[in-house]
């Protein structure tokens, strides 16, 4: 899978750990920064760069890291077709994919440790939208997704 990662200064160490794990698993990882602690990139630069890679089809999923995950999520979600979820548990990693079709997982390095972040990342990349749902729930989530996409068409003109 093609995956984009990015961070600010606070999320840099955790981003490096997750990127290394993903590469070891055979994924192609694109790093949009911060790549050097002497030249940190803020969330206002990093999140749009990651969002653009997904919009252009260069990456299927993304991981963004900052202190809380909130700034990255806010910035990424300003882009059409981007569904960036702040994730602090394995349950959230699974269900942001299953229910909301999130394509970017945002993690707060001040909140989530490396071990938990690795577990969450693995769940996020191995879970599909509506995976293992009964038909009634697939119908419901599919209908909700259509509403979200129509709202995007109306707002992102």
Query: pLDDT tens digits for 127-138?
Result: 999 999 999 999
Residue 156 main-chain phi, psi, to 5 deg: -100, 65
Tens-place pLDDT, residues 98-127 = 999 999 999 999 999 999 999 999 999 999
Q: What is the pLDDT of residue 156?
A: 86
Alpha carbons 88 and 57: distance in angstroms, whole number: 26
User: Using 50, 70 and 90 to split pLDDT, how confident is the model at 93?
Assistant: very high
Residues sharing a CB contact under 8 Å with residue 127, sequence separation 6 or more, in sequence order? 93, 94, 97, 98
| Structure confidence at residue 43 (pLDDT) | 97
Check if the beta carbon of residue 76 is closer than 8 Å to that of residue 23: no
- DSSP symbol at 131: T
CATH 3.40.1400.10 is held by the domain 2-129? yes
Cis amide linkage into residue 3, ω under 30° from 0: no
- Is the pLDDT at 157 greater than 90? The verdict is no
Which positions are annotated as active-site residues?
A: 66
């Amino acid at each position: 899978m093609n995956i984009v990662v990015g961070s600010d200064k606070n999320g840099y160490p955790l981003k490096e750990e997750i990127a290394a794990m993903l590469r070891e698993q055979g994924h192609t990882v694109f790093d949009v920064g911060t790549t050097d602690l002497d030249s940190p990139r803020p969330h206002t630069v990093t999140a749009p760069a990651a969002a653009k890679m997904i919009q252009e089809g260069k990456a299927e999923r993304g991981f963004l890291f900052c202190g809380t995950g909130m700034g990255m999520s806010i910035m990424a979600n300003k882009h059409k077709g981007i569904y960036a979820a702040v994730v602090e548990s394995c349950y959230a990693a699974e269900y942001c994919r299953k229910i909301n079709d999130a394509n970017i997982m945002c993690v707060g390095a001040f909140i989530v440790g490396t071990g938990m972040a690795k577990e969450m990342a693995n769940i996020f990349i191995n879970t599909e939208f509506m995976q293992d749902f009964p038909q009634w729930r697939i119908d419901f989530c599919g209908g909700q997704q259509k509403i979200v996409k129509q709202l995007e068409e109306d707002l992102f003109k």
